[in-house]
């Protein structure tokens, strides 16, 4: 039986199945689905429903010229792209290894023993790996949007509960928390945000633009 207790919200899983979820969140969802059989089954169900809805759409006639143009495009053979499929490596699921381009994380200190590897940042948000030594804490903070945090190794606890490997915390602007890594193996998390965090202490706020958190 799976030990995963905290899962993806259903609306977010539906958005992922539809291909409309922003990349930072989509990466976290893909990683969670690769670890969680329950969410993998639910994702398959949503994809099946989406396919059925498409099959039920009304057929619309198109002009001969549009049809010919479409068929011509089908005859164009695209250049072969390298296979970017990556297998799980240690604590890192395949989707994370793909984001890392198959290489180990390049950790950079963010203070207090905590380190990060920035995987992606754009107007939709950012996604990063966090390395939190046992017993250490991420500075207390709130949120200006949504933050997804998926545990890949170890565990952490905060005001909302305990999160172990495969667990996903969904934090919104109502949650103020201080995640603390449990004793044992360092806690490694995959975290995505769609807006800057709201730190309560001065030093993290000053470092925020540099660290792109």
Q: What is the pLDDT of residue 82?
A: 47
Pairing of strands 125-132, 156-158: unpaired
Report the C-alpha gap between 7 and 36 in whole angstroms.
8
pLDDT tens-digit series, residues 70-123: 677 766 655 544 445 688 999 999 999 999 999 999 999 988 899 999 999 998
Report the C-alpha gap between 192 and 20 in whole angstroms.
16
Q: What is the pLDDT of residue 206?
A: 75
Whether residue 3 is contained in a domain is answered as no
Residue 198 sits in which domain range? 103-211
Q: What is the pLDDT of residue 210?
A: 73
Whether residue 160 is contained in a domain is answered as yes
Whether residue 203 is contained in a domain is answered as yes
Whether residue 129 is contained in a domain is answered as yes
Whether residue 125 is contained in a domain is answered as yes
Report the C-alpha gap between 39 and 32 in whole angstroms.
8
Report the C-alpha gap between 62 and 59 in whole angstroms.
10
Report the C-alpha gap between 42 and 21 in whole angstroms.
16
Q: What is the pLDDT of residue 135?
A: 96
Segments in the chain below pLDDT 50: 1, 80-83
CATH number of the domain where residue 148 is located: 2.60.120.10
Whether residue 18 is contained in a domain is answered as no
Whether residue 7 is contained in a domain is answered as no
pTM for the full predicted model: 0.82
Whether residue 25 is contained in a domain is answered as no
112: alpha, beta or left, given left = phi > 0 and alpha = psi -120 to 50? left
Domains in the chain, number: 1
Looking up tokens 């928390």 gives 177
Q: What is the pLDDT of residue 1?
A: 39
Q: What is the pLDDT of residue 80?
A: 45
Q: What is the pLDDT of residue 75?
A: 65
């Amino acid at each position: 039986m799976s030990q995963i207790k905290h899962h993806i919200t259903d609306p977010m899983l539906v958005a992922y199945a539809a291909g409309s979820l922003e990349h930072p969140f989509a990466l976290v969802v893909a990683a969670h689905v690769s670890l969680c059989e329950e969410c993998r089954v639910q994702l398959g169900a949503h994809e099946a429903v989406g396919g059925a809805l498409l099959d039920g759409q009304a057929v619309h006639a198109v002009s001969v010229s549009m049809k010919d143009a479409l068929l011509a495009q089908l005859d164009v053979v695209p250049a072969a792209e390298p296979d970017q499929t990556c297998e799980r490596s240690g604590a890192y699921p395949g989707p994370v290894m793909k984001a890392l381009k198959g290489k180990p994380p390049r950790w950079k200190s963010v203070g207090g023993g905590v380190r990060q590897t920035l995987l992606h940042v754009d107007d939709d948000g950012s996604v990063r790996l966090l390395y939190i030594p046992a017993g250490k804490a991420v500075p207390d903070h709130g949120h200006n949007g949504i933050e997804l945090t998926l545990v890949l190794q170890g565990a952490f606890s905060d005001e909302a509960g305990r999160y172990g490997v495969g667990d996903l915390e969904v934090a919104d602007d109502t949650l103020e928390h201080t995640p603390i890594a449990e004793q044992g193996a360092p806690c490694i998390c995959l975290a995505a945000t769609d807006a800057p965090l709201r730190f309560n202490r001065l030093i993290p706020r000053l470092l925020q633009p540099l660290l792109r958190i």
